Structure 1
Amino acid sequence: MTDHPHLGTLIPQLLVERGIDTVFGIPGVHTVELYRGLPGSGLTHITPRHEQGAGFMADGYARASGKPAACFIVTGPGLLNIATAMGQALADSIPMLVITTLNPRATLGRGEGRLHELRGQSVVGREVSALALTVLTGEQLIPALDEAFAFLASARPGPVLIEIPIDLLSEPFSGPVTSLRKPAGPPPPAAGDVEAAAALIAGASNPLVIAGGGCVLGAQAVRGLIDRLGAATLLTANAKGILPPGHPLLAGGCMLTSALHAAIGEADLILALGTELGETEFWYGNEGLGLNGPVIRVDIDARQLHRNVPSALPVVGDAGAFAAALAPLVEAVPNGRAYAERLRIARMEGADPRYTRHRPLLEALWQVLPDAVVAADSTAASYGGNFMAEPPAPRRWMSAATGFGTLGYALPAAIGAKVARPDVPVVCIIGDGGLQFTLPELASAADAGAPIIVLLWNDQRYGEIEEYMVRNQIAPLGVKLHATDFAAAAKAFGAAHVAACSLGEVKAAMLAAAKHPVTTVIEMDASHYA
């Protein structure tokens, strides 16, 4: 006999000591030892209806709160199920900790038909992780946790995966249970790089700032730099809210139109902060961004500094720290406000009516619910929101219509955001096709006591794909959807349902839903919004 607790039993305590307060997961025979230590640990456990939902919930939790949650995931099918959510989080640089199990060490790679056996599971996990670690002995646990949390605190965010064989979870753990190491923060930029950036900016008369999701953590410093420099600023989807609505330097989002493409070309210097400058941040296809001035790129990940757009001055470092260091070294340019206004006008010239039709709804969101956090799926309103929505602060707009671009994201992500921010309304924007990917998670919201507001755009089809097929002279096949009774489905999963036939009805329904103790599905029949 031994007095030492089992390794699996201690893991919840170790996570709490390192700042984790919420875990998403579905108990399974390969993870039950992790659950033995959950009662009394201080962790809140949320049960989704699918492991993909667990990953999307952790994603929404992190975007809304700024800190990671954990997921407990079973071997094999559990990891494959959460892989899509991890892929979205990896593409959008969203932190989460995924603890998954492996089959017993003596059976790994044997192909003996063990329960949940997946050949090369570690290979799969590494493809959707920013960092992947495997713990094979008790002595490796604390170093692995230290490495994981150091990475989460200092590197480009993303999913961190820790794999632990199930037989190891049941072994006594005799090592120290607490690490006193405090993870370092993100790396500051080199002073010489800041000075070089200031010199380049001093020679520019019409600079443009493009701020991405890497700016959110240092949003106050980034806004301070923009205000001091007086430069027109475009915000990617993941940076929305760094400048509030009506700010004179806010040029809007980044959905590229021909007019906006031309207007961006007027800039004689581009300061790109914490952004990939990637296709789904601008939807520029093969034509590129057409940047005509030198580009200063600042990114915590050195690998990003020469992708998509070459850098005249590549700077490795945290965008917020860079902004704070640069601000005292720059002077205001004279024409920033006028340039921002030209960009604001240009982004709407020739904008796709499939997206602009949703502008009244997007403008109504924070008029009706000023504190709302919005999770948007891959649907037309979300694409429109990526360049037209203007939330009042960061961490109020999260969208799957970027990067990996998964369907079904918004419902579980909204639940995760509500778990993180129970004090504010959380709105999910989703189409009928996307909702049916993760519809059962409505029941998870009921279980968790996390009521959200679902704005359901119902056109009984995969509308984006159908219109793409038609534009490319492809007969639309496989895009029409059964006319689902969402009122009955909502009731079955513990949610309320409201049919809204006008924007006024949507506004009234959102106000009522914000006071309702259960999730409300507000269904908008697309035929009423032609």
Structure 2
Amino acid sequence: MASSPPNIAQLVVDGLRSSKIDTLFCLPGVQNDDFFNVLFDAHDITPIVTRHEQGAAYMALGAAQVTGRPAAMCVVPGPGMLNAGGALTSAYWAYARVFALVGQIPVPMQGKGFGVLHELADQTAVLRQVTKEAFAITDPVDATRLIQGAFDAVHSGVPRPVSLEVPANLWTQPADGHITTPEAQTAPVDPDAVERATALLAKAERPLIVVGSGAYGASASIIELAEKMQIPVTTRRQGHGVVPTGHPLFVPITVAHEMWPDVDLVIGIGSRIEWPLLQWGYDADLDLIQINIDPEEIDRHGITTVGILADADEACRALIDATEPTTRPPIAADLAGRRAAFNEATAHLEPQRSYTAAIRDAVPDDGALVEDVTQIGFAAHLFYDHLAPRKFLTTGAAGTLGSGTAVAIGAAQASDSPVVGIVGDGGFLFTATELATAVQHDINCNIVVFNDNAFGNVKRIQKTRFGADRTIASDLKNPDLQAFATSFGVRPWKTDTPEGLRDTLREAIDHEGPSLVEVSVDEMPDPWPFFRRPRVRSKEPGVRR
């Protein structure tokens, strides 16, 4: 007797399994009940129930970032999906492979405006804004193809979220076919493009490499290329650790700006390069090699000289094989002098420098640091000693205040190494209730809260721009964070010095179970002059050669 075909809920579970996704960050609800009934029997997939839909999506973001593999979340439609939307747009700009499984109201009810539970007009249109591809099942005939397409998409191409919507009335419907193992597809390296890029490298006198998150898998080849051709390397947000901070050819973004007027060739590797090009300018004397798996980034600014649409490591290996060692003199001594000048110029940024050093001392080399939008998070871009890729997790261009606690919990759940989240007192309370999730599921995350009883960055900007007596909506009255943590079953510590943070954070990391370290701080000096640097080349954004 022939076996009956699986239903749509079973096919989705098969897709999770074929993607080697063994955890589902979720908040169940009535539209997804039939899916969770099938998930109950999938003992190889662990549901992590969160306290808010944004927590489920942020945790999936953290898991995807720290591993480089797809992570999954599941929420109900309408308000549930909208609650997760901020986290999905964060995953979009953080280049994370998040699989978003979203419920939907029954097909006959869609588009009618009846006002059924969790109805949202054109939910798919909303999801298209926060994912790279949005799949929606409306007929069981198409279900297997769409489920397969969604899982293939989250594994392939640009690492960004993919959504799959399943209406409540279709979960139990049978669907022919089966789900196969997703295949990641990348474009082959174009040898003609490599030849043209090699010619530019050979003639360049003052090249610069800018790396982003697309370079995470290419550390060794980028270092080899930089050393062979004597090229300095920098990053703004997401490329930290691709080339370790301590490498003689790495320079902070502030130093890169100092060099920018004289740079004649930029090699972007897995980076949008938007910070230098939009902030610092460009002109006809600047050539650009753009290496990226995203076809939209190859010539986004309209000034690319040579584009290589390929995996970063494969492209860099091709360039290494095609280039002769440079005849340019070694640059390590010059870069060391520039870094020393940078350290002197930023010596006044205390206590930020001392706190980032204390965190580095406490976090093991294989540990990951998650930044929220907070003073020490900003400082970490300039001063933290980044040792390897995927060890500094950020929402990138999204700049999402309040994401850090939940992202850190998700990263900790997916990692065998310690994870530390650094948040401010303002951002902490956005997702602080997810400490309950960490306790319930025994996730060893470590949250450091810098408490100045204010949205400190906002307050400082208001003082600087409008006057010390014209601050508004930036002071905060916080709960007792020690009692707050304890109420969840989280072990708390408290300190007010960098030395105290180093010691307490070490204890927290050694502690079995979730922990919170509160650091009482005052107003901090402004780091932004070392990020936002003036235009030093003539052309404005959008002006072609």
* TM-score scaled by length of structure 2: 0.89
CA distance in 2, matches of 1:94, 1:261: 28
Amino acid at match of 1:234: T
Deviation of 1:138 after TM superposition, in Å, equals 2.1
CA distance in 2, matches of 1:48, 1:102: 20
Structure 1 residue aligned with 2:448: 455
Structure 2 residue aligned with 1:208: 208
Deviation of 1:347 after TM superposition, in Å, equals 4.7
CA distance in 2, matches of 1:353, 1:95: 39
Q: Find the residue that maps to 2:74 and give its secondary structure.
A: strand
Structure 2 residue aligned with 1:123: 125
Amino acid at match of 1:363: A
Trace 1:129-208 onto structure 2 (pairs within 5 A): 129-173=131-175, 175-179=176-180, 182-208=182-208
Q: Tell whether the 8 Å contact from 2:413 to 2:444 is kept in structure 1 after alignment.
A: no
Structure 2 residue aligned with 1:404: 398
Query: Alpha-carbon deviations, 1:341-383, whole Å to 9, x = none?
Result: 35534655655956x6312222233332222111110011111
Residues 338/270 of structure 1: CA separation in 2 closer, same or farther (3 Å cut): farther
Q: Tell whether the 8 Å contact from 2:66 to 2:391 is kept in structure 1 after alignment.
A: yes
Aligned with residue 527 of structure 1, among 501, 509, 522: 522
Amino acid at match of 1:202: A
Structure 1 residue aligned with 2:53: 51
CA distance in 2, matches of 1:177, 1:462: 51
Q: Find the residue that maps to 2:402 and give its secondary structure.
A: coil
Structure 1 residue aligned with 2:262: 266
Structure 1 residue aligned with 2:106: 104
Structure 2 residue aligned with 1:235: 235
Amino acid at match of 1:36: N
Deviation of 1:308 after TM superposition, in Å, equals 4.5
Q: Tell whether the 8 Å contact from 2:14 to 2:179 is kept in structure 1 after alignment.
A: no
Q: Tell whether the 8 Å contact from 1:305 to 1:314 is kept in structure 2 after alignment.
A: yes
Trace 1:5-16 onto structure 2 (pairs within 5 A): 5-16=6-17
Aligned with residue 91 of structure 1, among 82, 85, 93: 93
Deviation of 1:292 after TM superposition, in Å, equals 5.1
Q: Tell whether the 8 Å contact from 2:504 to 2:517 is kept in structure 1 after alignment.
A: yes
Q: Find the residue that maps to 1:31 and give its secondary structure.
A: helix
Deviation of 1:419 after TM superposition, in Å, equals 1.0
Deviation of 1:266 after TM superposition, in Å, equals 2.2
Amino acid at match of 1:303: E
CA distance in 2, matches of 1:338, 1:447: 52
Q: Find the residue that maps to 2:135 and give its secondary structure.
A: strand
Q: Tell whether the 8 Å contact from 1:266 to 1:292 is kept in structure 2 after alignment.
A: no
Residues 127/178 of structure 1: CA separation in 2 closer, same or farther (3 Å cut): closer
Deviation of 1:230 after TM superposition, in Å, equals 2.4
CA distance in 2, matches of 1:309, 1:490: 51
Match status 1:81 vs 2:83: yes
CA distance in 1, matches of 2:187, 2:373: 33
Query: Alpha-carbon deviations, 1:111-151, whole Å to 9, x = none?
Result: 11100001121111111111111111223222223322332
CA distance in 2, matches of 1:109, 1:136: 12
Deviation of 1:189 after TM superposition, in Å, equals 2.4
Bigger mean CA deviation after superposition, 228-237 or 369-378: 228-237
Structure 2 residue aligned with 1:511: 506
Amino acid at match of 1:104: P
Residues 246/485 of structure 1: CA separation in 2 closer, same or farther (3 Å cut): same
RMSD value, Cα: 2.3
Q: Find the residue that maps to 1:454 and give its secondary structure.
A: strand
Match status 1:424 vs 2:425: no
CA distance in 1, matches of 2:203, 2:334: 17
Q: Tell whether the 8 Å contact from 1:460 to 1:481 is kept in structure 2 after alignment.
A: yes
Deviation of 1:7 after TM superposition, in Å, equals 1.7
Amino acid at match of 2:271: T
Q: Tell whether the 8 Å contact from 1:264 to 1:343 is kept in structure 2 after alignment.
A: no
Residues 134/472 of structure 1: CA separation in 2 closer, same or farther (3 Å cut): same
Residues 525/34 of structure 1: CA separation in 2 closer, same or farther (3 Å cut): same
CA distance in 1, matches of 2:185, 2:51: 35
Deviation of 1:439 after TM superposition, in Å, equals 0.9
CA distance in 1, matches of 2:262, 2:442: 51
Deviation of 1:193 after TM superposition, in Å, equals 0.5
Amino acid at match of 2:150: A
Q: Find the residue that maps to 1:416 and give its secondary structure.
A: helix
Structure 1 residue aligned with 2:409: 415
Aligned with residue 70 of structure 2, among 64, 68, 71: 68
CA distance in 2, matches of 1:451, 1:420: 10
CA distance in 1, matches of 2:338, 2:127: 42
Deviation of 1:287 after TM superposition, in Å, equals 4.9
Q: Find the residue that maps to 2:159 and give its secondary structure.
A: coil
Q: Tell whether the 8 Å contact from 2:194 to 2:319 is kept in structure 1 after alignment.
A: yes
Residues 346/116 of structure 1: CA separation in 2 closer, same or farther (3 Å cut): farther
Structure 2 residue aligned with 1:275: 271
* TM-score scaled by length of structure 1: 0.92
CA distance in 2, matches of 1:352, 1:51: 42
Q: Tell whether the 8 Å contact from 2:270 to 2:291 is kept in structure 1 after alignment.
A: yes
CA distance in 2, matches of 1:287, 1:37: 54
CA distance in 1, matches of 2:344, 2:144: 56
Query: Alpha-carbon deviations, 1:448-479, whole Å to 9, x = none?
Result: 21121111110000011111122221721111
Residues 417/30 of structure 1: CA separation in 2 closer, same or farther (3 Å cut): same
CA distance in 1, matches of 2:356, 2:412: 20
Q: Tell whether the 8 Å contact from 2:24 to 2:73 is kept in structure 1 after alignment.
A: yes
Structure 2 residue aligned with 1:367: 361
Query: Alpha-carbon deviations, 1:427-452, whole Å to 9, x = none?
Result: 01000000011110111111121121
Deviation of 1:4 after TM superposition, in Å, equals 4.5
Deviation of 1:52 after TM superposition, in Å, equals 0.7
Q: Find the residue that maps to 2:228 and give its secondary structure.
A: helix
Structure 2 residue aligned with 1:327: 320
Q: Find the residue that maps to 1:527 and give its secondary structure.
A: coil
CA distance in 2, matches of 1:290, 1:525: 47
CA distance in 2, matches of 1:162, 1:377: 28
Residues 292/379 of structure 1: CA separation in 2 closer, same or farther (3 Å cut): farther
Q: Tell whether the 8 Å contact from 1:95 to 1:157 is kept in structure 2 after alignment.
A: yes
Trace 1:247-396 onto structure 2 (pairs within 5 A): 247-252=247-252, 254=253, 256=254, 260-279=256-275, 287-288=280-281, 293-308=286-301, 310-330=303-323, 331-332=325-326, 333-345=328-340, 347-348=342-343, 351=346, 357-370=351-364, 371-396=366-391
Residues 7/150 of structure 1: CA separation in 2 closer, same or farther (3 Å cut): closer
Q: Find the residue that maps to 1:522 and give its secondary structure.
A: strand
Residues 142/349 of structure 1: CA separation in 2 closer, same or farther (3 Å cut): farther
Q: Find the residue that maps to 1:498 and give its secondary structure.
A: strand
CA distance in 2, matches of 1:508, 1:214: 35
CA distance in 1, matches of 2:356, 2:146: 43
Q: Find the residue that maps to 1:453 and give its secondary structure.
A: strand
Give aligned pairs, total. 517
Q: Find the residue that maps to 1:262 and give its secondary structure.
A: helix
Amino acid at match of 2:33: V
